[in-house]
Amino acid sequence: MNDINGFILSSHYNDTRNGMELHFYVTTNIGPAKVVITDFRPVFFIETNSKHIDIPNMVERKTLQLKSFTGQQVDAIYFKNQGDLFSAKDTLANAGVRTYESDVRPTERYLMERFINGDISIEGQFHEQGKLKVFLNPNLKKGKSAVAPKVLSFDIETSMKDDLFSIGVHYFSNSAESKKVYMVADEDKVINQELTYYKSERDVLLAFKSDLLEEDPDFILGWHVVGFDLMFLEKKYMQYNIPFNFGRDGEKNRLVERKGIGFFATIPGRVVLDGPPVLRGAFYSFENFKLDTVASELLGIGKDINEGGANKVAEIERRFREDKLALAKYNLLDCTLVSDIFKKTELIELCITRSRISGMVIDRLGASTAAFDHLMLPLIHRKGFVAPNVLDIQREAQAAGGFVMEPKVGLFENIIVLDFKSLYPSIIKTFKIDPYSRIMSDESSVETPTGHRFSKTEHILPNFISELFLKREQAKQVGDSHLSMAIKILMNSFYGVMGSPGCRFYHADLPTAITGTGQWILKEAITYFDSHGYEVIYGDTDSVFVKLKHEDIFKVKEKAKELVRSSNEFLTKKLKTRFNVDSHLEIEFEKVFKKFFLPKARGSEGGAKKRYAGLITENSKEELYFAGMEVVRSDWTKVAKKFQYTLFEKLFSDGDLETYIKDFVNRLKNKEFDDQLIYRKRLTKSIDEYTKVIPAHVRAAIIYRDKTGKKQGKSIEYVMTMNGAYPAKLEYSNIDYDHYIEKQIRPLADSVLSNYDKSFDDLIIGDQLTLF
């Protein structure tokens, strides 16, 4: 039969009595499929000279034309299953024998060695097993597929005492849509097309599961869906002795919490996407990641219940008792809001594209080191090498970061920002930097400004980056934002991965050469602009902030283009003359600030790095831009952000700063901003782990736990009262306005007033003294 094309949703492996099985769940042009591979043998490598060691459970030992990075020839050691491999690895480690690549996941090794990235072509016979087409040991190769996924967005409503009230679902695909709420009530009854009553929690759970398996979605969406909804449902299904298995082919769900990282769900054959982490991974930022906040900003629609905390739960409980239709409406709206956010941002499409670019299945997209393995390992093997295990990497001092120039403090006009386009990938490409070229540096090498040498002819990563650059330009030309973003994310990860001891290809020379060369390049660019009479007021890693001359202000864009052209020519010539390399660096015009402010560092006369504000004028529209300032930071209150934003509006329009500051302080004291005084901070560990020093936000979390009996989540909202920090979710009074003036308003005011040799105390305390 013809090849079947599809996209890999999830991959898993199982050890069986007969050996290892690899399972790949695929959405295909003929429906959902499961590929079962039973003829794959787990493998690692050891040095050939380790002949005297007895390796338990070994199936085969084969001498290959492969060697370690230190030049030692290696043998491949094959096993029946992964458990035997782990056991042999431990035995060898105890005997002092080093293994290579014994920590590579078998499913990922299988795909990478076949250069399969998401899309797959399946050649072979299948049999029907329920809704699945099951292939046994087909021929798999890279393919090309059109993915039209079926999606479920769901949400649960519960009581304060962990009773299940209802489950709302929204199924949708390119061709169909359905909505339903399963609600606990006193009777079994269909109320309308979207609401059905069930006599018990157990009946709701059974109906939800039955419909989910029947609808058979590829993607499951939600908001904190793993840490709350699925975790809650797992307990409920266990309570009623119902198998918690939503996976295709009846496989169980697996939920885990990784301390300090987050919650993860594995449902074989389906992809679980949790709104907040997926949005963060796509570089979205919001004041907070509450569903109401994100939906309001992206969709212009809010939740049906705007209250938070105990008040929200109380309203949900009231609706469950008195107005089940209203609760169903609320439950269903939460589902459709999540659906609409994913549709609006096209996050599913972005995840699919990232999988196609990186080779990672979607639930491993965050594993940048594994993505680097997926690229490098098969090509390293074809160059005749094997790589070490991650834990065998020699940890060395971290490389220095990018160069950050000492800012020139003050208020400026007509500042253009010039950026190096993809600086670190461009450095890698220009100087041929990668793990393989470091090993082969004796062959026709090129030297970096840091004195590190890499092979000019033997390399892998620079060629791959060239392909990615070309693909990204093509993506931009046709308006494929997903492909452009996926490539950007992958390329930007290369430096971080090679600089991480968690990468098997780590060597200190790699990140040091990249960042050191980046510093040299930025300093050369600054020197160039200075030598041509242009004042550089700030520079940071890959950007320079250049003050235009007075005669340039009427031709800003033209002058920017001229500076871009001349500086690129300068660097190209410099790199060719000094290092004999063809430059792939490119400076480009980023933006122009009509007015621009660099503040002092607090407690210092020097400038504050990575902090600035500016006024951008584009098409007769003016817009404030902030970097590193409190207005764009999540750990400052709304009142501080409001104050700072307007403060800079006044500064850039030559407004009366003194009057504004005095008036704002008075309004704050007069309770005008009481709804904007909430702090929001993350809890980095359990509140019981804070023993010696208990910060304000932890005190608030302890009070919340003691008064409600509820466990606090990953973050806490609190206000400062005269008695200290207090949870914002509980009723409070006696606000400490002096705290907010001292800690939130004063430092922001002083950062601007210091430019005029004035201070907050001059205005506020001075005014108070005049009363006597």
Q: The domain that contains 440 carries what CATH number?
A: 3.90.1600.10
The distance in angstroms from the start CA to the end CA of the chain is: 97
DSSP 509: H
Q: What is the mean pLDDT of residues 202-231?
A: 96
What CA–CA distance (Å, rounded) separates 548 from 533? 9
Sheet holding 715-721, edge to edge: 679-682, 715-721, 724-727
In a domain, 374, yes or no: no
Task: Give just the sign of the alpha carbon dihedral 665, 671, 675, 678.
Answer: positive
Give residue 13's pLDDT.
96
- The residue ranges of DSSP E strands in 225-325, in sequence order, are 254-258, 262-266, 271-274
Mean pLDDT score across all residues of the chain? 92
Give residue 260's pLDDT.
64
How confident is the model over 135-168, as pLDDT tens digits? 999 999 999 988 899 999 999 999 988 899 999 9
Residue whose C-alpha is closest to residue 168's, from 363, 303, 271, 263? 303
What CA–CA distance (Å, rounded) separates 119 from 349? 13
Q: Which of 613, 642, 660 is the last residue of a domain?
A: 613
Q: Which of 308, 339, 358 is the last residue of a domain?
A: 358
In a domain, 409, yes or no: yes
What CA–CA distance (Å, rounded) separates 510 from 518? 12
Give the pair of three-digit tokens for residue 484.
């452009």
**Same-domain check for residues 457 and 591:** yes
Give residue 771's pLDDT.
40
Whether 305 shows a pLDDT value over 80: the answer reads no
**Same-domain check for residues 116 and 164:** no
Whether 91 shows a pLDDT value over 90: the answer reads yes
Give the pair of three-digit tokens for residue 599.
């503040």
- CATH number at 227 reads 3.30.420.10
Residues 393, 506 contacting (CB under 8 angstroms): yes
**Same-domain check for residues 215 and 296:** yes
In a domain, 619, yes or no: no
In a domain, 126, yes or no: yes
In a domain, 348, yes or no: yes
How confident is the model over 96-139, as pLDDT tens digits? 999 999 999 999 999 999 999 999 999 999 999 989 999 999 99
**Same-domain check for residues 428 and 557:** yes
What CA–CA distance (Å, rounded) separates 80 from 93? 20
Whether 470 shows a pLDDT value over 90: the answer reads yes
**Same-domain check for residues 310 and 210:** yes
Give residue 553's pLDDT.
84
Strands 132-136 and 99-100: unpaired
- CATH number at 107 reads 3.30.342.10
In a domain, 253, yes or no: yes
Structural domain count of the chain: 4
Q: What is the mean pLDDT of residues 78-84?
A: 96
Give the pair of three-digit tokens for residue 594.
């009509």
Give the pair of three-digit tokens for residue 325.
């239709």
Q: Which of 315, 338, 358 is the last residue of a domain?
A: 358
Q: Is 621 left (phi over 0), alpha (psi -120 to 50) or beta?
A: beta
**Same-domain check for residues 492 and 470:** yes
Residue type, 259: K
Q: How far is CA 145 from CA 22, 27, 140, in A?
A: 21, 9, 14
Strands 219-222 and 271-274: parallel
pTM, 2 dp:
0.89
Give residue 307's pLDDT.
61
**Same-domain check for residues 399 and 311:** no
Model confidence at 309, pLDDT cuts 50, 70, 90, reads low
How confident is the model over 584-598, as pLDDT tens digits? 999 999 999 999 999
Instruction: Give me the domain span that covers residue 267.
Output: 151-358
